[in-house]
Amino acid sequence: MTKRYFGTDGIRGAVGEVPITPEFCLRLGWAVGKVFARPGGCHVLIGKDTRISGYMIESVLESGLASAGANVSLLTVMPTPAIAYLTRTLRADAGIVISASHNPYYDNGIKFFDADGNKLDDAIELEIEAQMQRDMVCVESDGLGKASRLEDAPGRYIEFCKATVDRRFRLGGMKVVLDCANGATYHIAPRVFEELGADVHVIGGEPNGTNINAGCGSTHPEALAEAVRSVSGDVGIAFDGDGDRVIMVDANGDVLDGDELLYVIAQDRAERGLLAGGVVGTVMSNFGLERALGGLNIPFVRAKVGDRYVLECLKAQGWVLGGETSGHILCLDLTTTGDAIVAALQALVPLVENQRPLAELKQGMRKLPQVLLNVEAARPRELAEQAGVKAAVADKARLLEGRGRVLVRPSGTEPVIRVMVEGEDQTEVSAIAQDLASSLEGLA
């Protein structure tokens, strides 16, 4: 069966348009309560980021869940990985996150975790969608669910984050600049790094409901780079709106994306004998990462784009470290999902333990020039499968054989085909990408 509403990371869209409407979310909450129902009632956590629409969605989800007999714990503003952690440790049946991650404030979404803090299986998502097609019937009054607020949720998660590094780990004397994207980490991340001893400077820490991700956070690291240079910081750390992606900046103001952070973490773990296998990236991971890991004799495997596919590949390989260029990094030996604060701390371990600056730690990896273009297409999946498209891609790939890569794939969220070309020479890469994009436009 094909899912109608669930995408690769829950349900997402523009607020006020189906599926992000009060009516839809009310029925969604009821359906989730029915699917997770068990004798004695089920327990569901709800957290959200700082979007103004989160309050509306939270209230209707709560009503829908209660009407199905589910008890609800409201966690208010919390990072996505915090919901995964608390769902597991509080023995809840499911966790819900109201967030559209790195999207602007006028979008929102609903993401789910199961009792183990993992994203839902396709089968459960299909079951929820099927339940939504049934008549919505409220349970008897004596079976209605109750709602309460978990006041100590931030403190629980802060202690968890600190526990992912050695108890002797200290950031004393280090000036750390945090960009919280005016999002869910704004009241969490500063406390974590302050309690570990850092001198913390914060930007993007004043959410107002509409400024989440606006010119700040991991999608706009230039703001962090400027801040690091202006205060002579040792390191900068940028999160996205819901706190599951991280981008870092070294003392020179140079940006490290997810590929470079994976390299820093993997290199350190390999040196300490703690890597436990290899590293999983995606088809979009820079070829420079694959080369650098190969130089350290660290296996590297590519998954499809999307953290759920990286997670699936890690589990299949029996490995624990993987991630995406965007900064979504998974450390499965520490937590069940991508966690920006946890990943940032892992990248800081070699910096602290070996007294080496971030700029030095990343030197073993050289990113190849990469060009990414979008070609509009009414039916991107169909276009990508055309013989003419495949022939054009193969022709360009031969030009870069052994020196780079060509990748053409339909977007999972937009009506476009993404063209990615990387290689040793920027001019050559740009020319090939533009030529291929023009060919696709002619076939669209």
Q: Any idea which residues carry the catalytic annotation?
A: 101
Which token pair is 384? 């990508």
The residues, ordered by sequence, that sit 6+ positions from 315 with a Cβ below 8 Å of its Cβ are 332
How do beta strands 71-77 and 147-149 pair?
parallel
End-to-end CA distance of the chain: 28
Tokens 């280090």 — which residue? 174
Q: Which of 111, 238, 241 is nearest to 183 (CA)?
A: 241
Yes or no: say if 165 and 85 are a contact pair by the CB < 8 Å rule.
no
- Give every CB contact of residue 104 below 8 A, 6+ residues apart in sequence: 212, 213, 214
CB 73 within 8 A of CB 150: yes
Q: Beta strands 246-250 and 71-77: pairing type?
A: unpaired
* Residues 18, 418: Cα–Cα separation, whole Å: 26
3-state SS of 71-85? Answer: EEEEEEECCHHHHHH
Rg (CA), the chain: 22
Place of tokens 């969604």: 28
Helices (H), 72-216: 80-89, 122-132, 153-163, 189-195
